[in-house]
Structure 1
């Protein structure tokens, strides 16, 4: 076990082979994979491992594809829906590794339900049970877990990433972990939208990775929204497959061909979005037969909590709805992966889960719950293994006397701090540009250009003047991360002069064959956007 050291200031200082940042499923799998490879592992989470992130409060399926020749056909069918940006080799690797890890869960004793013929049904994971189980597995593997220890920045010795530093929320002291490799599994960026498990998903890993020299991709694909009861954070859209949609007076909303609008999932989301821009929209789950109603309540019980609390029968009564922006959590953007072990191109830095770009898996469309769940199972495993191998190669080289703290915006302003630059106001300003339906679900070059100008001005204020002290550094760093993610997202959306998948440009409604590739962003303050082939050539050189 890593041995703690205390300085006179009572800060915590640990040494380990591998440091995992995050507390969701990909972080847990990375920690277990590294520990089973013989590494001494520390896991530091902003929240509590087992309840952090978007999986813990949810019931999630997996993209469960058993071995066999049929898996190629399954992957091919899925690839056809990805806007031509996914990579079938990565998709096959993911389904194979995820399936093996689902079997590992069974072998470890995870209580999968049984089907009628007695076989275990391993395609579904109950979020609360799953994450409690993974916490126990992480601890059984000998991992040192630091709950409520948000990371603020990465550490570098000039050659590689050699750890991270942050603050212990409950104890109030600083912490530092020296490590031979770091896995970023900090989740996506929800831009402070009210969605399940989204509170702590502020894109921290994106900014830390970019400051270290890593690139990002897929940041333009943040146009994923999910239906939810109005005033609720319950972004579980499945029941709306059996919904009809109405105005407040009960009159049906009509689709493009004049028929009543039903089924708000998939392509019909666009019609619901247009209706919401025009005014309030109400739904009723009246397309579900009685037997299906019982199945929905049994299979997705948390979906019905808001209705039960309000005394509404959603199958017979109208209720108001909204579309919740899901940012990169259900978008595809994140830190770019450059090798099979989820390396970032920065020595010693690996990435997993929603912190990583999922373009190679889902292209221009959302992976939703199932594909993203399998991606967490697989990418966490690969990153943990890759980090442990890197740690062994470095041996004792990581713990040098000269270590540089890489964090800038929100921690060390480029100019003098200003009290009128507040974290909350920064976050609200970013949300105004990246969450409204009329500007982000449906985009235009003119609208994006105005948002870009406002976000660039905001970023200059954040970079030059935003600073926190003590525990407030968590808040200012989150604000800086959200500002950076919003800025990258809008810039990439402006650069992609076409419509593809969840990136919908009203001024350029069709796909361009010249843009059938990923857009890679490199840099923080003065960043550049290049096509994926250019980025690969740069790495090769």
Structure 2
């Protein structure tokens, strides 16, 4: 396909060219860089390595069929069931089959997964899994421990250059070929070009586009927008997963009460102490996340509130078994051993993203994608718990193998010294800060747990008006990603998985397929929404 975007930056001649540039310092980016060693790799990270990565915040762990009673076929079947009919079957089969090998890789990098006295991995069960297959670290610290081990390994690997504090803004290219990344140092105005033979997008998700999210502030959709502006095909963008049990204590980002608590028997109750999931789904508290999230959302909207009651299931052992959640509760003045925890749904994971194949290749030559920014088809309409970290490492490894096979033997790892002097401080921009607030509020209100045609059109209008006040590319990237999600959600006139339309509350068998969209189509849908809104305003004015 051709590239038609006005924002695809031409390649720069006469620049040193890296073998591989990876945009993103989370699990997918670092794992890919390690797998590429000793090939020279530059990793560009928005924040200090590990600090801005959603991977480090993951509490549950990695799903893998590594026990004697489990099989990757069972894991595959559970994933397909959660995906509500639109997973790519072969992708899921491949991912679950390779899961054990990737866990062994992580063990070799020093990840301290929980083990019993005989050295066997200790496994837990999360929602919609038929077996105990979630590999954890100290109950709820898997993401933090995995990232700590990988960061240590990366810093010991001389072929990996880390550039921390650089924000990717645009892709460079020639025709349909991606040839590098244009980035800006945070707090500065100057943009820097990073030409490369291969670019890997591992920039994370879109959580911070919403008013309530469990993701760090760096999860702002930049990579998704950069790829869309360059002409890449985006898939399944309407499917956004809302974690049912974020702590409802007024914090941004919202602390997460891991699903493993419900796996250990914690119950969901309303303010009157009544369980409400029993009448909603046969699996009650262990129902798929989208069902639990909607049930909690409705209790909160009805004024009855929602609380996670861990008193009997976990009780006095809470601090030892779930130290991360315990600390968040303590900070909010809650003792989870003796008090129910107030919870509410929060944006947690984006099943959609940049369309890729089984090797992580996108629709643009020279561009690969891995992790939450990618849409591999592994998650369908609703991600199965603890499959996100698994997908990141499986596809990061496949991308590394693919790139190694395409390029000649790597040269020695050497780069010219980077000018690391900070640029001029960016000017405060009140309009842009207000525009971001509008974006987050409208996505949470109109493109959240429940959507409708009216709410989605309103979101497109609101985002368009907010975007008109934005100058910086990084802020426009956030607006672009918001428009992509809203437009894709408007296209799918049914409810499926993480996408629930109040005006189309049932699944339509004819729409049991993946969705694909480009930025040109997004712009056309947004323009039609704006025209309809303008027409309604004229009609209302004439009627009054």
Q: For the superposition of Structure 1 and Structure 2, which TM-score range results when normalised by the shorter chain?
A: 0.7 to 0.9
Provide, for residues 9-30 of structure 1, a one-character-per-residue CA deviation record: whole Å limited to 9, x for no partner: xxxx763100001010000111
Q: Answer whether contact 2:44 2:162 (CA < 8 A) is retained.
A: yes
Query: Aligned residue for 1:428?
Result: 437
Residue of structure 2 equivalent to 1:516: 512
2:35 maps to what in 1?
33
Query: Are 2:35 and 1:19 aligned?
Result: no
Q: How many residues were matched structurally? A: 469
Distance 1:16 1:325 in 2: 36
| 1:371-386 mapped onto 2 (5 Å cutoff) | 371-386=387-402
Give the one of 288, 295, 309 matched to 1:285.
309
SS at match of 2:179: strand
Mean CA deviation greater in 130-139 or 486-495: 130-139
2:531 maps to what in 1?
Answer: none
Aligned counterpart in structure 2 of residue 168 of structure 1, from 157, 181, 185 = 185
Using the alignment, how far apart are the partners of 1:311 and 1:124 within structure 2?
27
Secondary structure of 1:228's match?
strand
Residue 254 of structure 1, CA deviation: 5.2
Task: Give CA deviations for 1:450-471 in whole Å, capped at 9, x if unaligned.
Answer: 3233334444x16xxx32xxxx
Distance 1:523 1:392 in 2: 34
> Could you say if the C-alpha distance between residues 344 and 420 of structure 1 is closer, same or farther in structure 2, counting changes exceeding 3 Å?
same
Superimposed CA distance per residue, residues 275-307 of structure 1 (whole angstroms, 9 cap, x where no aligned partner): 111226252525633xx3355543321111132
Residues 192 and 254 of structure 1, relative CA distance in 2, 3 Å threshold: closer
Are 2:264 and 1:263 aligned?
no
* Deviation for aligned residue 1:55: 1.9
Mapped to 2, the partners of 1:258 and 1:376 lie a distance apart of 32
> Alpha-carbon deviation of 1:226?
3.1
Q: What is the alpha-carbon distance in structure 1 between the residues aligned to residue 494 and residue 43 of structure 2?
A: 41
1:45: which partner in 2? Answer: 45
Q: Choose which of 324, 327, 331 in structure 1 pairs with 2:346.
A: 324
**2: CA distance between counterparts of 1:376 and 1:93?**
13
Residue of structure 1 equivalent to 2:5: none
1:391 to partner: Cα distance: 4.2
Q: 2:257 aligns with which of 230, 233, 236?
A: 236
Structure 1 unmatched ranges of 5 or more = 1-12, 396-418, 468-475, 530-541
Change (3 A) 1:515 1:394: farther
Following the alignment from structure 1 to structure 2, what is the Cα–Cα distance between the partners of residues 172 and 487? 26
SS at the partner of 1:59? coil
Are positions 1:488 and 2:484 aligned together?
yes
Asked if 1:138 corresponds to 2:154, the answer is: yes
Q: Answer yes or no: is 1:445 the counterpart of 2:453.
A: yes
- Secondary structure at 1:517 match in 2: coil
* Bigger shift: residues 223-232 or 195-204: 223-232
Please say if residues 359 and 399 of structure 2, whose CA atoms lie closer than 8 Å, have aligned partners that are also in contact. yes
Structure 1 residues 517 and 307, CA gap change in structure 2 (3 angstroms): same
Partner secondary structure for residue 54 of structure 2: coil
Specify every segment of 5 or more residues in structure 2 that has no aligned partner in the other structure, as ranges.
1-14, 124-134, 412-427, 526-544
Q: How does 1:183-198 map to 2 (within 5 A)?
A: 183-190=200-207, 191=209, 193=211, 195-198=213-216
Aligned to 2:462: 454
Partner of 1:57: 57
| CA shift in 2, pair 1:506/1:316, >3 Å | same
The one-character-per-residue Cα deviations of 1:96-117 (angstroms, maximum 9, x if unpaired) are 3332122122234433332133
Q: Distance in 1 between matches of 2:510 and 2:72?
A: 30
CA contact (8 A) 1:226 1:235 kept: no
Question: RMSD of the alignment, in Å?
Answer: 3.2
**2:218 paired with 1:210:** no
